Amino acid sequence: MTTPRRLLLVNGPNLNLLGTREPGIYGTATLADVEQVATDAAARRGFEVRAVQSNHEGVLLDAIHAAREDCAGIVINPGGLTHTSVVLRDALSGVGLPVAEVHISDVKAREEFRHHSYVADVAQVHVIGEGVTGYATAVARLIDILTGQAEG
């Protein structure tokens, strides 16, 4: 069986508010802009993206579980679930796909409770604080891993 050339892009709670939510922290790009950045970065390397955003943890878990069937890897911005969700971490670990964790803001420069990520230990790629362009970086680094082009 050949490896699918598709990535699952997961955006967690409140990311549907991008463009209007705290633009001083997150900028003015919308969720549609984020999805386009990721899709364009993947397309440059011959991959496609299936995007999901939800404010409901179970919807995200179901999408992650389904990715086992037709995705090669997962790019995820878990939003606030980064700091609270063991079950999200376990879903990512359980599907056995390479994971790229991305955050628009520099979570280490923000409130103390944002410094811990339950996703960090299951992600092979971490892109933090690069704004929306960080999604392109995360996609590229994940594809490098998937295609054996990663350094180190």
Q: Residue 105, annotated ligand binder? A: yes
Name the catalytic one among 26, 56, 116, 135: 26
Residue 106 carries which DSSP code?
Answer: -
Q: Residue 106, annotated ligand binder? A: no
Whether residue 38 contacts residue 139, with contact meaning beta carbons closer than 8 Å, is answered with yes
Active site residue 118: no
Name the catalytic one among 56, 65, 103, 115: 103
Active site residue 26: yes
Q: Is 123 helix (H, G, I), strand (E, B) or coil?
A: coil
Contacts of 51 (CB under 8 A, 6+ apart): 9, 11, 35, 38, 39
Q: Is 83 helix (H, G, I), strand (E, B) or coil?
A: helix
Which pair of tokens denotes residue 59? 């919807």
Q: Residue 104, annotated ligand binder? A: yes
Q: Residue 77, annotated ligand binder? A: yes
Give the chain's length.
152
Q: Which residues are annotated as a binding site?
A: 77, 83, 90, 104-105, 114
Q: Which residues are annotated as a binding site for substrate?
A: 77, 83, 90, 104-105, 114
Give the catalytic positions in this structure. Answer: 26, 103
